[in-house]
Structure 1
């Protein structure tokens, strides 16, 4: 039986990282629970003090088909290269120069939202169609693929 999955990021700024990944994935920041017009209203009702309100955030697929991505505040900073990373499919169905141009366009867009471009890997057929390695605003690596 297949299971639903959620990807979880440890981070310093859950709201900021959620906003970045919503932009990168075409997701939206998860709305407040039913019956509340805002997260502040819900967190007030739950008795969560203001200093703890950025301890967690999440983004969801607006079409409800992709996995939820959850962001939780942790005290330590990222130390080394990720052992697992996300591949953001930014050039589906494209190959060669057209593929790399689409990846470059997406890389520029994400840099404008706080990402860092790390390196470009040229196409090396038949196994590598080319990709760009990026980092999100907190340094978590991901690939534009």
Structure 2
């Protein structure tokens, strides 16, 4: 029988600090049953749009529903893959170009489980979590609702 994990807060205001990524790695060095880590960092691009260049994305969410969806996806990943641990974080609010808005970090005894789990998690997050992004456009102050792709 699989262990049920306590829900963890995933949503956080503003960009994800790269120091948080580094600290996550450092905190796992003492866990000697881990043989592989896989990470995904979603970074904001300066895409060219018809009315200008994207300068950032403003994320909003139905927070309770989003946190619940993250927990379901997290539990499903633990059931599907032989993982040691997992950390998921997604930004709310404005995230400027070049900054990180999604951090997915999984650890396992062997690489295949962690690599497959990261791919599964990112796809399911994009598909199932009610988070919405408005791409902010340069000097015009316009925005375009972002499609998950």
TM-score, scaled relative to structure 1: 0.24
Q: Which has the higher strand share?
A: 2
The normalised TM-score by structure 2 is 0.23
Larger radius of gyration: 1
Higher RCO, 1 vs 2 (CA within 8 Å, ≥6 residues apart): 2
